[in-house]
Homo-oligomer: A and B are copies of this chain.
Amino acid sequence: MNYSDPIPIPSSDDTRTALLAAARELFAEQGYDGASVRAITSRAGANLGAITYHFGSKEELYLDLLTSLVRPLRDRIIETTSRPVPPLDRLGDVVDAYFEHLAEHPDLPRFLLERIASGQPPPAPVAAVMGAILQSLSSVVAEGQADGSIRPGNPILQSLSLIAQPIYLTLVQTPLRHFLGLDLSSGEPRQRLVAHAREFVRAGLAADLPEPP
């Protein structure tokens, strides 16, 4: 070892992964501001300089984490909008896909909303994913408008109205459970919730045409 080298810092993928996992837990528990560099590195079993070494800063670590959370959502939605089924069915499948993704990643809404609710501009990776999702949904809406199955109207607004359903209905589950005793998070109540949202979106988008025979 050359003694003029800086003190070695563990640089394995393991440390990086441990930092991401620790930050994810602490951001979920305490928010971005509440989770200190010291708390993250300590929980990851890394030294205090490890975040700077692996990510550059806490903000860069946060953006990396956010990117790793939202890209799979984008990929899932884009896959769903590419299925060879009629536009309204594809958009119904998108509602299902959102609910599934949010159920599998229960800390995702907090990550997204913490910044959105604060009125700060969205971090670049979130903006890119939202843009890609909106674009793919809008093109399905436009396709349905062209074949007469979907009502006229701005495809971006119609796509946002679709997304509103799984996002809001997932977010309000905690208050609903606490004050109405209504647990929609699993089992048959959850299936009814998802089926309801799918049907509401379908009815909200569908052109007033008779069903094909």
Contacts and interface: CB of A to CB of B under 8 A. Distances in A.
A84 interface: no
Interface stretch (A52-60, A72-80, A107-115): A107-115
Contacts of A196: 153-154, 157-158, 161
Interface of A: 30-31, 33-34, 106, 109-110, 113-114, 116-122, 126-128, 130-131, 134, 151, 153-154, 156-158, 160-161, 163-165, 167-169, 171-172, 174-175, 178-180, 182, 192-193, 196-197, 199-201, 203-206, 208
11 contacts: A31-B33, A31-B118, A114-B117, A116-B172, A127-B175, A131-B180, A151-B203, A154-B192, A156-B182, A161-B200, A203-B205
Nearest to A167: B168
A35 B111 CA distance: 20
A94 to B, nearest CB: 15
A201 B205 CA distance: 10
Given A153-B199, A174-B116, A130 B160 contact: no
Q: Which of A127, A168, A201 has the most CB of B within 10 A?
A: A168
Contacts of A153: 196, 199
